[in-house]
Amino acid sequence: MTSVDERSVRDLTDATPQVSNDTRRRDVYVIFWVATGLMTIASLVRNGYIFTTAQYPGSDQALNSLLVNRAEQFQQLVGNYSRVRFHHPGPALFYILSWGQGLFHDVLHIVPAPYNGQLLAATLYGAAMIGLTLVCLYRLIGSRGATAVAFGIAFVFAARYDMLGNVWFPFLYMAAFLLFTVASAAVAIGRTTELPLYVLGAGLLAHGHVSFLLFVAVTTVVVVAGWVWRHRHAWLAELRAHRRGVYGSGVLLGLFALPIVLETSLHYPGQWADYWTYVTHAQRTPRTFGQILDFMGQYWTTRAVPVGLSVAAAVVAVVLTATERNRERRQVFLALYGSVVLQSLLSFYYMARGVDALDRINWYVGLFYMTVPLVLVLAATAQLWIRLTELSAPAVPRIATTGVAVAAVVALSADATTMRELAMPQVPKAGYPAIVTALRDDPARAGRTVEFDLDEHDTWPIAAGVAEESWRTGLAWCVRDGFQGLWSVLFDSSNICPSSGAANRWQVHFSYHAPLPSDARVIVPANSRRMPVTIYSLPGHSSTS
């Protein structure tokens, strides 16, 4: 029995020479490994310091590293912290980073510090997710040349917007959202083969940020409705024809659900009450339709692909879809453009209800949405490429058009500007090991746990780096509870000093400001080049908890 996916591929290529299923299967492997490999190699060549210079994270990266350390021991059940004082639903991204830290640093020793292993894992993750997106696109459109050009565009975009190697979570969401957007279009028109990719993208997003639960829920309803309609006369046969993919999707669902179920069971009701409060009281400041549109528009103009390219892509999409005579191909591109519209509508709602302030400082909350203009450009470029290839097919063999596409990719990949934009910021912060050594060896500590006092709350980014390095080297530490309970979210409640045992802790303070208290004893002086804070203790004070 021939599956709908196989018939769809034949329909898409009815005007061109047929390609066997074995050849297409080989193409899928080649596309994934070549795309993933080229992006990874380009990023690592440009950022060779990952293998030579130890990196010591501070701020958000240090706080996340504390949770990566827990994930490496299979103890992490929740996601990264939110500034609205809860943790996001799941730890999937922490486990990806912990895999890189454990394999590349702890086992293979090919990077000089654990955080370097996270950077390498983030590079591979971003490249692999884009590679899977290109695989999905190829199976949708059936054109090697169009897929090669799409790779070139995706590579330039990824280089420009830190999709390769940046461990900050707003950047990590981008690759998952790109796959989610393309795979949802594929499954909605009945391509059951892409179900595991859809579940992968949706699961990573649902783990990463509570707001993505809305995107995943609504999109899944639309996708299931489309799939059921497409297979309404033979849906059981379709599931049997793709049972391996269906079983694989079930396994993925189980893996994504496991930590959430465990967290809810062990700490019932978990954080769901906090999520409900966030959903029902998310908007904190009034905003008009125009303000929301203006905030959303920045991702189409100043922060995404060039606006002229987006406009051109929209024109191409309308004209070529309206004149498309191949019914299956028209459905493919309608699904891709429909996915762009759906994710835009959901993003509009999120920015209206889920973003506390529509100002330029908060631009990072919508970084994931920048992949939506990218999908529009990728789809329109592929559609244009296919149309031009059909028009020139009698005169230009398919192998020649594919060769031109490969040449274009090489030219784009070698562009000096793109290679410069692949550079990741270094955060050596070599002062952290020295600070931890000073704290450990200070006679006043006398073997006690170090208690961080963060009454100057803006010192927390530096304290986070010191805490992470302390954890790494085995120096016992905790954070004095304060600042309205925020530290229990940022540093995790397990790292908050207990109310008892104050005599067994040595309290130290972090300060950006001068002068210090008259009786302060400086442990680590501020150094504007390497460490901008002064760390000091107050004689006679063990702890004030």
pLDDT in tens, 132-166: 999 999 999 999 889 988 998 899 889 888 899 89
What does pTM read for this prediction?
0.90
Other beta carbons within 10 Å of 503: 8
Binned at pLDDT 50, 70 and 90, residue 525 comes out as: confident
Other beta carbons within 10 Å of 424: 19
Binned at pLDDT 50, 70 and 90, residue 270 comes out as: confident
Please choose, from the candidates 184, 193, 203, the residue with its C-alpha nearest in 3D space to the C-alpha of residue 243: 193
Return the minimum-mean-pLDDT range out of 42-51, 141-150, 420-429, 435-444. Answer: 420-429
Q: Residue 393, exposed/middle/buried by CB under 10 A (0-12, 13-18, 19+)?
A: middle
Please choose, from the candidates 73, 61, 154, the residue with its C-alpha nearest in 3D space to the C-alpha of residue 113: 61
Decide if 536 contacts 495 (C-beta within 8 A): no
User: What are 267-271's contacts with CB under 8 Å, separation 24+?
Assistant: 271/78, 271/86, 271/87, 271/89
Helix (H) or strand (E) holding 460: helix 460-473
Decide if 509 contacts 455 (C-beta within 8 A): yes
Separation between Cα atoms, residue 207 and residue 173, nearest integer Å: 10
pLDDT (tens digit per residue) in 227-260? 999 999 899 999 999 999 999 999 999 999 999 9
Separation between Cα atoms, residue 432 and residue 57, nearest integer Å: 9
- C-alpha triplet 435, 438, 444: angle, nearest 5°: 135
Name the residue with tokens 């029995």: 1
pLDDT (tens digit per residue) in 278-311? 877 655 667 889 999 999 988 988 766 788 888 9
Residue 123: predicted pLDDT: 96
pLDDT (tens digit per residue) in 316-347? 999 999 999 999 999 999 999 999 999 999 99
Please choose, from the candidates 315, 411, 384, 299, the residue with its C-alpha nearest in 3D space to the C-alpha of residue 348: 299
Separation between Cα atoms, residue 154 and residue 175, nearest integer Å: 10
Quick one: tokens of 356?
């506390």
Higher pLDDT: 542 or 77? It is 77
Whether the predicted pLDDT of 25 surpasses 60: yes
Specify the 3-state DSSP secondary structure of 13.
coil
Other beta carbons within 10 Å of 55: 22
Q: Residue 523, exposed/middle/buried by CB under 10 A (0-12, 13-18, 19+)?
A: middle
Residue 438: predicted pLDDT: 92
Name the residue with tokens 């090489």: 410
Q: Once rounded to an integer, what is the mean pLDDT over residues 539-545?
A: 56
Residue 240: predicted pLDDT: 92
Binned at pLDDT 50, 70 and 90, residue 412 comes out as: very low
Please choose, from the candidates 99, 96, 165, 155, the residue with its C-alpha nearest in 3D space to the C-alpha of residue 130: 155
Whether the predicted pLDDT of 131 surpasses 80: yes
The mean pLDDT of the chain is 86
